[in-house]
Amino acid sequence: MSALQRDLMSKGLPPKGITSHMPEKKLPLGKSFAPLPWDEFFDSKTAVNIDGDQFNVYLKGSSGPVFFFLHGGGYSGLTWACLTSELNARCECRCVAPDLRCHGLSACANEDDLSTEQQIRDIGGIMRLLFHDNDNPVPVIVVGHSMGGALAAHAVHRDLEQINGVRIVGLVVIDVVEGSAMDALCGMTTYLRSRPAHFASEEEAIKWCLSSGTVRNSKAARVSMPTQVRKRDDGQYHWRINLLRSEPHWIGWFKGLSSTFLSCAPPKMLVLAGTDRLDKELMIGQMQGKFQTTLLPRVGHAVQEDSPDRLADELARFAVRYRLTVAKGGIQFNSPMC
State the catalytic residues: 146, 175, 301
- The 3-state DSSP class for residue 265 equals coil
Residue 286 identity (one-letter amino acid): Q
- The rounded radius of gyration (Å) of the Cα atoms in the chain is 19
d(CA 234, CA 162): 46
> Is the distance from CB of 256 to CB of 178 less than 8 angstroms?
yes
In Å, how far are 71, 106, 195, 218, 319 from 308, measured between CA atoms? Answer: 14, 24, 25, 12, 16
d(CA 107, CA 101): 7
CA 328 from chain centre, in angstroms, equals 24
d(CA 235, CA 255): 39
d(CA 190, CA 195): 9
d(CA 98, CA 87): 17
Maximum pairwise Cα distance, the chain = 56
In Å, how far are 84, 217, 282, 310 from 317, measured between CA atoms? Answer: 15, 23, 22, 11
d(CA 10, CA 146): 8
Residue 83 identity (one-letter amino acid): L
